[in-house]
Amino acid sequence: MVGVQQAKYAGQYKVWLKFNDGKEGVVDLADIPGRYPAAAPLVDESVFSAFYLDEWPTLAWSCGFDLSPELLYERLTGKPPVWLAQIAVAA
């Protein structure tokens, strides 16, 4: 399973992420607050930047919104995690 090991706010709704498989880089999440109603509080950049790593581990916010590690991984690398891609091929 893919998990986020480290995350740092990079400004302008961008987050630097490091995953447990060694992949790392900056992900632009500027579209997230407008895409999901539960993420509406994240329009305020100071609220957005106050994320933390939860028990999955992935990005989470005090408003109750989180993003799956798989979604973050795909945004960073342009492809799903290996285990998720294998499930898709098998189906």
Q: Which CATH architecture has domain 4-90?
A: 2-Layer Sandwich (3.30)
User: What predicted TM-score, i.e. pTM, was given to this entire model?
Assistant: 0.86
- What is the domain partition of the chain in residue ranges? 4-90
**Alpha helix ranges (H) inside the chain:** 32-35, 45-48, 69-77, 82-90
CA neighbor of 15 nearest in space, from 47, 42, 51: 51
Between 42 and 86, whose confidence is greater? 42
Q: 48-84, pLDDT tens digit by residue?
A: 999 999 998 999 999 999 999 999 999 999 988 665 5
Q: Flag whether pLDDT at 85 surpasses 70.
A: no
Q: 31-45, pLDDT tens digit by residue?
A: 999 999 999 999 999
90 vs 74: CA distance, rounded Å:
19
User: In angstroms, what is the C-alpha Rg of the chain?
Assistant: 13
